[in-house]
Structure formats: C-alpha cells, structure tokens
Amino acid sequence: MKIIGNLIWLIFGGFITAIEYLLAGIFYCITIIGIPWGLQCFKYAAVVLWPFGTELSYKPNDGCLNLLLNIVWILLGGWSICLTHIFFGILLSITIIGIPWGRQHFKLARLAILPFSYDIN
C-alpha cells in the first residue's frame, strides 16, 4: 500500500516539492557557509519523494546551534517551501480521496519550516 501511495504522491505535488528542495540544496551548497542547509535540503528531498512510511520525531531542546540554523533557514526561504506544502495540503484535502496525501503535505510542512528540529525515522 505504501508503494501505491508514494507513486500517487509523486503526481500530486511530491515531485514538484522534491525539485524545490533540490534547487534550494544546490543554491545553498554554492557557498561554504550554506553547506549545512544544503545537506538538509538534499536529505529532505529524498523524504519528500517517498513520504509514506517515514515518521518525523521532534527533537526538543536540541541546542542553540539548531535554533540559529532554523532561524536562518526560515529567513532565507524555508517559508516558501512550507507554503508550497500547505498549498498542496489544502488543495488535496478538499476531496475525501486526497486527504491521505494532504496529510503528508501537512506533515512535511512542519519539516520544511524547522528542518533542524526533526529526525527522520
């Protein structure tokens, strides 16, 4: 069932958001300072391609460095990827059939806004 969900996911916004993460990762890795953000983007691009079967676990109080990295991420464009997930989540949740895929977009919106605060299981 996960394979079918992931294949349908690619059609309904998964491929677009994965490309968005890849482009952001390339943009960040151009500079030496942006490499931590670029590596997170590449890691999350793989998660966005196959979200069914992956779980996110929140890491509370993981340190001030992760807080600083999250703040810079939000200021440099993480909010745009989050808005993409929210847009697709709302669009897919309009129909009853699209609710599982909309829920995946809402799950990934949390990851898109605070990428250094979550572990992928």
Q: What spatial distance separates the first Cα and last Cα of the chain, rounded to whole Å?
A: 19
Digit-coded pLDDT (tens) for 81-91: 889 889 989 99
Compute CA 77 distance to the chain's CA centroid, rounded to the nearest angstrom: 12
Q: Each residue of 7-46: pLDDT tens digit?
A: 888 887 788 888 988 998 999 899 888 898 899 889 888 8
Domain assignment of residue 13, given as a range: 2-120
Name beta bridge partners: 120: 56
Domain count, the chain: 1
| Mean pLDDT score, 46-60 | 84
pLDDT value of position 22: 92
Query: Can you tell me which residue has the tokens 């992931």?
Result: 6
| pLDDT averaged over every residue in the chain | 86
CA 79 to chain centre: 11
Count the alpha carbons within 13 Å of 68 in the hemisphere toward its beta carbon.
4
For 10, other C-beta atoms within 10 Å of its C-beta total 14
